[in-house]
Protein backbone atom coordinates (compact mmCIF):
# COMPACT_ATOMS: atom_id res chain seq x y z
CA UNK A 1 0.00 0.00 0.00
CA UNK A 2 2.81 2.38 0.90
CA UNK A 3 4.48 1.62 -2.43
CA UNK A 4 1.36 2.42 -4.37
CA UNK A 5 0.79 5.61 -2.44
CA UNK A 6 4.30 6.84 -3.14
CA UNK A 7 3.65 6.49 -6.86
CA UNK A 8 0.05 7.76 -6.98
CA UNK A 9 -0.92 9.51 -10.21
CA UNK A 10 -3.24 12.51 -10.52
CA UNK A 11 -5.93 11.47 -13.03
CA UNK A 12 -6.03 15.00 -14.43
CA UNK A 13 -2.45 14.57 -15.60
CA UNK A 14 -3.64 11.89 -18.03
CA UNK A 15 -5.95 14.33 -19.86
CA UNK A 16 -4.48 15.83 -23.01
CA UNK A 17 -5.21 19.54 -22.61
CA UNK A 18 -3.92 20.40 -26.08
CA UNK A 19 -6.92 21.22 -28.33
CA UNK A 20 -7.55 19.00 -31.31
CA UNK A 21 -6.98 20.21 -34.84
CA UNK A 22 -10.73 20.33 -35.38
CA UNK A 23 -11.21 22.52 -32.29
CA UNK A 24 -8.45 24.88 -33.44
CA UNK A 25 -10.07 25.26 -36.87
CA UNK A 26 -13.50 25.93 -35.32
CA UNK A 27 -12.07 28.53 -32.94
CA UNK A 28 -10.14 30.24 -35.75
CA UNK A 29 -13.25 30.47 -37.92
CA UNK A 30 -15.33 31.71 -35.01
CA UNK A 31 -12.80 34.42 -34.22
CA UNK A 32 -12.67 35.39 -37.91
CA UNK A 33 -16.46 35.71 -38.12
CA UNK A 34 -16.61 37.84 -34.97
CA UNK A 35 -13.86 40.10 -36.31
CA UNK A 36 -15.63 40.52 -39.66
CA UNK A 37 -18.92 41.44 -37.98
CA UNK A 38 -17.27 43.92 -35.64
CA UNK A 39 -15.47 45.63 -38.52
CA UNK A 40 -18.26 45.67 -41.14
CA UNK A 41 -21.61 45.85 -39.32
CA UNK A 42 -21.29 49.60 -38.57
CA UNK A 43 -21.24 50.25 -42.35
CA UNK A 44 -24.45 48.26 -42.98
CA UNK A 45 -27.57 50.44 -43.08
CA UNK A 46 -31.32 49.86 -42.94
CA UNK A 47 -33.30 51.54 -45.72
CA UNK A 48 -36.57 53.23 -44.80
CA UNK A 49 -39.30 54.11 -47.32
CA UNK A 50 -41.49 57.15 -46.60
CA UNK A 51 -44.83 57.64 -48.36
CA UNK A 52 -47.91 59.84 -48.07
CA UNK A 53 -51.35 58.27 -48.53
CA UNK A 54 -54.86 59.69 -48.54
CA UNK A 55 -57.62 57.88 -46.72
CA UNK A 56 -61.19 59.10 -47.44
CA UNK A 57 -62.11 58.62 -43.78
CA UNK A 58 -59.09 60.06 -41.98
CA UNK A 59 -57.46 62.17 -44.67
CA UNK A 60 -53.72 62.19 -45.55
CA UNK A 61 -51.31 60.17 -43.46
CA UNK A 62 -47.65 59.28 -43.58
CA UNK A 63 -46.16 55.80 -43.68
CA UNK A 64 -42.60 54.80 -42.84
CA UNK A 65 -41.48 51.22 -43.51
CA UNK A 66 -38.08 49.66 -43.04
CA UNK A 67 -37.89 47.70 -46.26
CA UNK A 68 -34.30 46.72 -47.06
CA UNK A 69 -30.59 46.92 -46.50
CA UNK A 70 -27.61 48.74 -47.96
CA UNK A 71 -23.93 49.19 -47.18
CA UNK A 72 -21.49 52.10 -47.35
CA UNK A 73 -18.49 51.77 -49.66
CA UNK A 74 -17.36 55.40 -49.46
CA UNK A 75 -18.16 57.21 -46.23
CA UNK A 76 -16.62 60.52 -47.29
CA UNK A 77 -18.59 60.68 -50.56
CA UNK A 78 -21.73 59.14 -49.04
CA UNK A 79 -21.96 56.21 -51.49
CA UNK A 80 -24.25 53.32 -50.52
CA UNK A 81 -25.00 50.17 -52.54
CA UNK A 82 -28.31 48.26 -52.48
CA UNK A 83 -30.79 46.46 -54.77
CA UNK A 84 -32.82 48.38 -57.32
CA UNK A 85 -36.06 46.71 -56.20
CA UNK A 86 -35.54 48.05 -52.66
CA UNK A 87 -35.85 51.66 -53.90
CA UNK A 88 -38.09 51.19 -56.94
CA UNK A 89 -41.07 53.26 -55.74
CA UNK A 90 -40.70 56.59 -57.53
CA UNK A 91 -43.50 58.12 -55.45
CA UNK A 92 -41.64 57.61 -52.18
CA UNK A 93 -38.66 59.17 -50.46
CA UNK A 94 -35.99 57.17 -48.68
CA UNK A 95 -33.64 57.44 -45.74
CA UNK A 96 -30.90 55.24 -44.30
CA UNK A 97 -30.44 54.32 -40.67
CA UNK A 98 -26.99 53.55 -39.29
CA UNK A 99 -26.36 50.99 -36.57
CA UNK A 100 -29.25 50.20 -34.26
CA UNK A 101 -31.27 53.24 -35.28
CA UNK A 102 -29.21 55.92 -33.60
CA UNK A 103 -28.76 58.14 -36.67
CA UNK A 104 -30.85 58.61 -39.83
CA UNK A 105 -29.95 60.39 -43.07
CA UNK A 106 -32.15 61.29 -46.05
CA UNK A 107 -31.20 59.84 -49.43
CA UNK A 108 -30.41 62.74 -51.76
CA UNK A 109 -30.44 60.83 -55.03
CA UNK A 110 -30.90 57.29 -56.36
CA UNK A 111 -29.04 55.93 -59.38
CA UNK A 112 -30.47 52.71 -60.85
CA UNK A 113 -28.72 50.17 -63.03
CA UNK A 114 -30.86 49.59 -66.16
CA UNK A 115 -29.62 45.98 -66.41
CA UNK A 116 -28.97 44.53 -62.95
CA UNK A 117 -31.04 44.64 -59.76
CA UNK A 118 -28.64 47.20 -58.39
CA UNK A 119 -28.76 50.81 -57.24
CA UNK A 120 -26.41 53.42 -55.81
CA UNK A 121 -27.66 55.83 -53.16
CA UNK A 122 -26.08 59.24 -52.52
CA UNK A 123 -26.27 60.56 -48.96
CA UNK A 124 -24.82 63.64 -47.32
CA UNK A 125 -23.36 62.64 -43.96
CA UNK A 126 -23.39 66.24 -42.74
CA UNK A 127 -21.84 66.88 -39.37
CA UNK A 128 -20.46 63.35 -39.21
CA UNK A 129 -16.87 62.23 -39.33
CA UNK A 130 -15.21 58.86 -39.65
CA UNK A 131 -18.18 57.22 -41.41
CA UNK A 132 -17.56 53.44 -41.62
CA UNK A 133 -17.25 51.73 -44.98
CA UNK A 134 -16.73 48.24 -46.40
CA UNK A 135 -14.15 47.18 -49.00
CA UNK A 136 -15.15 45.31 -52.15
CA UNK A 137 -13.62 41.87 -52.65
CA UNK A 138 -13.07 39.53 -55.58
CA UNK A 139 -16.03 37.31 -56.43
CA UNK A 140 -14.12 35.73 -59.31
CA UNK A 141 -11.97 33.69 -56.93
CA UNK A 142 -14.67 32.34 -54.61
CA UNK A 143 -15.19 28.58 -54.23
CA UNK A 144 -18.15 26.35 -53.44
CA UNK A 145 -17.97 25.42 -49.76
CA UNK A 146 -16.31 28.70 -48.78
CA UNK A 147 -17.59 30.32 -45.57
CA UNK A 148 -19.60 33.51 -46.05
CA UNK A 149 -21.40 35.97 -43.78
CA UNK A 150 -24.60 37.92 -44.50
CA UNK A 151 -25.63 41.06 -42.61
CA UNK A 152 -29.00 42.70 -43.13
CA UNK A 153 -32.22 44.20 -41.86
CA UNK A 154 -34.06 40.88 -41.42
CA UNK A 155 -37.86 41.14 -41.84
CA UNK A 156 -37.52 44.91 -41.69
CA UNK A 157 -37.42 44.62 -37.89
CA UNK A 158 -34.06 43.25 -36.82
CA UNK A 159 -31.34 45.58 -38.08
CA UNK A 160 -27.85 44.23 -38.68
CA UNK A 161 -28.86 40.61 -38.16
CA UNK A 162 -25.91 38.30 -38.85
CA UNK A 163 -26.06 34.85 -40.44
CA UNK A 164 -23.28 32.54 -41.53
CA UNK A 165 -23.12 29.77 -44.12
CA UNK A 166 -21.26 28.60 -47.17
CA UNK A 167 -21.34 29.20 -50.90
CA UNK A 168 -23.68 26.46 -52.12
CA UNK A 169 -23.44 27.07 -55.85
CA UNK A 170 -22.09 29.40 -58.54
CA UNK A 171 -23.36 30.58 -61.90
CA UNK A 172 -27.02 30.12 -61.01
CA UNK A 173 -29.81 31.55 -63.17
CA UNK A 174 -32.96 32.69 -61.37
CA UNK A 175 -36.13 34.69 -61.98
CA UNK A 176 -36.62 37.10 -59.07
CA UNK A 177 -39.88 38.83 -58.23
CA UNK A 178 -40.48 41.59 -55.70
CA UNK A 179 -43.79 41.21 -53.86
CA UNK A 180 -46.99 39.56 -55.08
CA UNK A 181 -47.49 41.87 -58.04
CA UNK A 182 -43.86 42.85 -58.56
CA UNK A 183 -42.08 42.74 -61.89
CA UNK A 184 -40.18 39.51 -62.54
CA UNK A 185 -36.51 39.90 -63.46
CA UNK A 186 -34.16 37.31 -64.89
CA UNK A 187 -30.78 37.21 -63.16
CA UNK A 188 -27.78 35.20 -64.35
CA UNK A 189 -24.40 34.12 -62.93
CA UNK A 190 -25.76 34.38 -59.39
CA UNK A 191 -24.14 33.10 -56.18
CA UNK A 192 -26.19 30.60 -54.16
CA UNK A 193 -25.67 30.49 -50.39
CA UNK A 194 -27.18 28.68 -47.41
CA UNK A 195 -26.53 31.67 -45.13
CA UNK A 196 -30.07 32.46 -43.96
CA UNK A 197 -31.62 35.40 -45.84
CA UNK A 198 -35.03 36.88 -45.07
CA UNK A 199 -37.24 39.64 -46.49
CA UNK A 200 -35.43 42.85 -45.62
CA UNK A 201 -31.98 41.36 -46.29
CA UNK A 202 -32.17 42.54 -49.91
CA UNK A 203 -29.33 44.89 -50.74
CA UNK A 204 -27.13 43.75 -47.88
CA UNK A 205 -23.56 42.47 -48.24
CA UNK A 206 -22.38 38.89 -48.59
CA UNK A 207 -18.91 38.88 -47.03
CA UNK A 208 -15.88 36.62 -47.07
CA UNK A 209 -13.76 35.97 -43.98
CA UNK A 210 -11.53 38.92 -44.91
CA UNK A 211 -14.49 41.24 -44.37
CA UNK A 212 -14.78 42.05 -48.09
CA UNK A 213 -18.01 42.21 -50.08
CA UNK A 214 -18.22 39.40 -52.63
CA UNK A 215 -21.92 39.76 -53.40
CA UNK A 216 -25.11 41.77 -52.86
CA UNK A 217 -27.95 39.69 -51.42
CA UNK A 218 -30.89 39.84 -53.81
CA UNK A 219 -33.40 37.01 -53.40
CA UNK A 220 -34.54 33.94 -51.51
CA UNK A 221 -36.18 30.79 -52.80
CA UNK A 222 -39.83 30.55 -51.74
CA UNK A 223 -40.87 27.22 -50.25
CA UNK A 224 -37.29 26.16 -49.52
CA UNK A 225 -34.93 26.44 -46.59
CA UNK A 226 -31.54 28.16 -46.68
CA UNK A 227 -31.46 28.84 -50.41
CA UNK A 228 -30.50 32.45 -50.96
CA UNK A 229 -28.94 34.31 -53.87
CA UNK A 230 -26.46 37.16 -54.29
CA UNK A 231 -25.24 39.18 -57.26
CA UNK A 232 -21.44 38.72 -57.63
CA UNK A 233 -19.67 41.98 -56.88
CA UNK A 234 -17.36 41.59 -59.91
CA UNK A 235 -20.40 41.97 -62.18
CA UNK A 236 -21.06 45.39 -60.66
CA UNK A 237 -17.52 46.71 -60.28
CA UNK A 238 -17.36 48.27 -63.79
CA UNK A 239 -20.63 50.11 -63.06
CA UNK A 240 -19.34 51.30 -59.70
CA UNK A 241 -16.01 52.42 -61.17
CA UNK A 242 -17.77 54.37 -63.94
CA UNK A 243 -20.06 56.00 -61.39
CA UNK A 244 -17.12 57.09 -59.25
CA UNK A 245 -15.64 58.76 -62.33
CA UNK A 246 -18.70 60.16 -64.10
CA UNK A 247 -21.29 60.48 -61.33
CA UNK A 248 -23.86 58.43 -63.22
CA UNK A 249 -24.76 54.86 -64.12
CA UNK A 250 -24.76 54.20 -67.83
CA UNK A 251 -24.92 51.00 -69.84
CA UNK A 252 -24.51 50.10 -73.51
CA UNK A 253 -28.05 49.59 -74.84
CA UNK A 254 -29.04 47.34 -77.75
CA UNK A 255 -32.82 47.39 -77.50
CA UNK A 256 -34.07 43.82 -77.83
CA UNK A 257 -36.13 41.42 -75.76
CA UNK A 258 -34.60 38.00 -76.15
CA UNK A 259 -34.30 34.39 -75.01
CA UNK A 260 -30.85 32.88 -74.65
CA UNK A 261 -30.40 29.70 -76.72
CA UNK A 262 -28.14 27.50 -74.60
CA UNK A 263 -25.95 24.68 -75.88
CA UNK A 264 -28.48 22.07 -74.79
CA UNK A 265 -31.37 23.92 -76.43
CA UNK A 266 -29.29 24.45 -79.54
CA UNK A 267 -28.64 20.73 -79.89
CA UNK A 268 -32.22 19.80 -79.06
CA UNK A 269 -33.80 22.24 -81.56
CA UNK A 270 -31.04 22.30 -84.19
CA UNK A 271 -30.61 26.04 -83.77
CA UNK A 272 -27.44 28.12 -83.53
CA UNK A 273 -26.39 29.22 -80.07
CA UNK A 274 -27.12 32.85 -79.36
CA UNK A 275 -29.93 35.25 -78.46
CA UNK A 276 -33.34 34.64 -80.04
CA UNK A 277 -34.93 38.07 -80.56
CA UNK A 278 -38.54 38.18 -79.34
CA UNK A 279 -39.07 41.92 -79.78
CA UNK A 280 -37.20 45.05 -80.85
CA UNK A 281 -37.56 48.47 -79.20
CA UNK A 282 -38.64 51.08 -81.74
CA UNK A 283 -35.89 53.59 -82.49
CA UNK A 284 -33.27 51.56 -80.61
CA UNK A 285 -29.81 50.71 -82.02
CA UNK A 286 -31.12 47.21 -82.85
CA UNK A 287 -34.04 48.71 -84.78
CA UNK A 288 -31.78 51.09 -86.70
CA UNK A 289 -29.36 48.25 -87.54
CA UNK A 290 -32.18 46.19 -89.07
CA UNK A 291 -32.56 43.48 -86.43
CA UNK A 292 -36.02 41.90 -86.50
CA UNK A 293 -38.07 39.63 -84.20
CA UNK A 294 -37.18 36.02 -85.00
CA UNK A 295 -33.52 36.76 -85.68
CA UNK A 296 -30.88 34.91 -83.67
CA UNK A 297 -27.90 37.06 -82.68
CA UNK A 298 -24.91 34.73 -82.79
CA UNK A 299 -21.93 37.10 -82.57
CA UNK A 300 -21.14 40.65 -81.49
CA UNK A 301 -17.79 42.42 -81.94
CA UNK A 302 -16.16 39.11 -82.81
CA UNK A 303 -17.43 37.39 -79.65
CA UNK A 304 -19.65 34.36 -80.20
CA UNK A 305 -22.68 34.13 -77.91
CA UNK A 306 -22.76 30.92 -75.87
CA UNK A 307 -23.40 29.66 -72.35
CA UNK A 308 -20.35 31.56 -71.12
CA UNK A 309 -20.92 34.76 -73.11
CA UNK A 310 -24.55 35.81 -72.86
CA UNK A 311 -25.90 38.77 -74.84
CA UNK A 312 -26.03 40.99 -71.73
CA UNK A 313 -22.46 40.10 -70.77
CA UNK A 314 -21.05 40.84 -74.22
CA UNK A 315 -23.04 44.06 -74.66
CA UNK A 316 -21.94 45.28 -71.22
CA UNK A 317 -18.31 45.09 -72.30
CA UNK A 318 -18.76 47.27 -75.39
CA UNK A 319 -18.24 50.99 -75.88
CA UNK A 320 -21.05 53.28 -76.93
CA UNK A 321 -18.92 55.54 -79.11
CA UNK A 322 -17.89 53.12 -81.82
CA UNK A 323 -19.53 50.88 -84.39
CA UNK A 324 -19.26 47.11 -83.95
CA UNK A 325 -20.04 44.18 -86.20
CA UNK A 326 -22.93 41.86 -85.42
CA UNK A 327 -23.81 38.50 -86.99
CA UNK A 328 -27.40 37.23 -87.01
CA UNK A 329 -29.05 34.04 -88.21
CA UNK A 330 -32.22 34.88 -90.15
CA UNK A 331 -34.25 31.92 -91.36
CA UNK A 332 -31.15 29.74 -91.41
CA UNK A 333 -29.00 32.23 -93.31
CA UNK A 334 -26.17 34.24 -91.79
CA UNK A 335 -26.20 38.01 -92.20
CA UNK A 336 -23.69 40.63 -91.10
CA UNK A 337 -24.78 44.02 -89.78
CA UNK A 338 -23.18 47.09 -88.23
CA UNK A 339 -24.48 48.60 -85.00
CA UNK A 340 -23.64 51.55 -82.76
CA UNK A 341 -24.81 50.98 -79.21
CA UNK A 342 -26.67 53.70 -77.32
CA UNK A 343 -25.83 54.88 -73.82
CA UNK A 344 -28.67 54.00 -71.46
CA UNK A 345 -28.49 56.05 -68.29
CA UNK A 346 -30.10 54.89 -65.05
Distance (Å, rounded) from C-alpha 323 to C-alpha 316? 15
In this predicted structure, what is the pLDDT of residue 186?
A: 63
In the chain the beta strands, taken as DSSP E runs, fall at 44-55, 59-74, 79-82, 93-98, 103-112, 119-123, 147-154, 158-177, 184-193, 205-207, 213-220, 228-232, 250-253, 256-261, 274-280, 296-300, 303-304, 323-330, 333-340, 342-345
Residues labelled as active-site residues: 85, 117, 202
pLDDT of 63 over the 70 cut:
yes
**Each residue's pLDDT tens digit, 262-273:** 888 889 989 999
pLDDT of 324 over the 90 cut:
no
In this predicted structure, what is the pLDDT of residue 20?
A: 62
Split at pLDDT 50, 70, 90, the class of 4 is very low
Ramachandran area for residue 325 (φ above 0: left; ψ -120 to 50: alpha; else beta): beta
Tell whether pTM > 0.95.
no
**Each residue's pLDDT tens digit, 147-189:** 999 999 876 667 788 999 999 988 777 665 554 334 555 677 8
148 phi, psi to nearest 5 deg: -135, 160
- Tell me the range of 75-84, 96-105, 176-185 where mean pLDDT is highest: 75-84
Lowest-pLDDT choice from 211-215, 253-257, 288-292:
253-257
In terms of pLDDT, which residue wins out, 211 or 260?
A: 211
Amino acid sequence: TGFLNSFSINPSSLIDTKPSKQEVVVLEEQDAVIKVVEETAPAVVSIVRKEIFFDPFRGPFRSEDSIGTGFIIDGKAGIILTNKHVVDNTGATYSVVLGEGEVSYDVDRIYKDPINDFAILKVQFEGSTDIPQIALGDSGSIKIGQTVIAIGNALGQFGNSVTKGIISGLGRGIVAKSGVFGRAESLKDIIQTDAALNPGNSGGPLLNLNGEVIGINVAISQGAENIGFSIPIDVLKPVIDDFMTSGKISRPFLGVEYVQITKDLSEERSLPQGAFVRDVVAGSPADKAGIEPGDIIVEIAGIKLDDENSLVKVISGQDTDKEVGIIIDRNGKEERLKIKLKDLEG
